[in-house]
Amino acid sequence: MSWPDRDTRLHRIFRELQEKGLIDRRRRLIRCTFTPSIRGCPALNCIRYRRSFYEKNLSEASDDILRFVLLHEEGHARKGSSLLSALPALPVLLCFMFFCHPFLQTEGLPVTKPILIALLLLIAFFAYRTYYHRMCDEEFTADRYAADAMRRCYRVRDPGALLQNLLSALIPGAPVSCNRGLISALFRAEPNYRPSIAERVERVRDRAASRDRSLAAHRTGSGLSR
């Protein structure tokens, strides 16, 4: 399959989802060299993808998996916060303000500088921890949006299987289970942190099972009332 054909398939599925109302009609799908993978961007009202990432990881994927990917990113674009993306820049901005202030350029008050540096480090730590925890929550929210849409509009009985196949291919070295130790959770703040594959799949399947039980109970109640 040639590159234009592969690109056309992604855009065709994107337009299909827009026609069904699952992706905002004003949303754009654009290639972006500066995006490491594929990202829904609420601030720019678009879904950006890197061509090399798509070619390597998604060009041979099934239509359902591509639908799930695009719907997941639509979940980020709809329910994500554009302010959250600016949070990592907060410590950098504070450092710039503090260290460029004339007060810190003087020779006096030698005790003040270490205190301010310690304060900046503390602010940076909690800012990044907040950022990664919020990003973790956004992943679950985007998964739910994609899974609900696939079940409702494409009759996919187990969207968790789509998610598991997708993540296993994209993140071959990702942990299968989630380590819930307090100390490890406190210091686990690397930039590529994501929830474990098992936890994400489990949440999607639990939500689907809960909805099935609610639907069955509703049907039973409707039958008894006749």
Residue range 57-69, pLDDT digits in tens:
999 999 999 999 9
Which residue type is seen at 184? S
Residues 6+ apart with CB under 8 A from 1: 59
With 0-12 / 13-18 / 19 or more C-beta atoms within 10 angstroms meaning exposed / middle / buried, residue 78 is: middle
Taking residues 14-28, what's their average pLDDT?
97
Does 207 have pLDDT greater than 50?
yes
Q: Which tokens belong to 112?
A: 């003040």
Query: Which pTM does this prediction carry?
Result: 0.74
**Whole-angstrom Cα distance, residue 140 to residue 201?**
10
More confidently predicted of 83 and 173: 83
Give whichever of 10-24, 81-95, 193-207 has the largest mean pLDDT. Answer: 10-24
pLDDT at 109 over 60: no
CA distance 160 to 201: 5
- pLDDT value for 67: 98
**Predicted confidence (pLDDT) at residue 85 exceeds the cutoff of 80:** no
Overall average pLDDT of the 92-121 stretch: 67
Length in residues, the chain: 226
Q: How confident is the model at residue 153 (pLDDT cuts 50, 70, 90)?
A: very high
Question: Which residues form the domain of 55?
Answer: 3-224
Domain count, the chain: 1
Contacts 24+ apart (CB under 8 A), 81-88: 81/42, 81/134, 82/42, 82/43, 84/131, 84/134, 84/135, 84/138, 85/43, 87/127, 87/130, 87/131, 87/134, 88/127, 88/128, 88/131
Query: Between 113 and 105, where is the model more confident?
Result: 113
H-only helix segments in the chain: 3-19, 51-53, 63-79, 89-99, 102-105, 112-154, 159-170, 182-187, 197-224
Q: What is the mean pLDDT of the chain?
A: 79
Say if CB 147 and CB 76 are below 8 A apart. Answer: no
CA–CA dist 135, 62 (Å, integer): 27
Q: Encoding tokens for residue 209? A: 């099972």
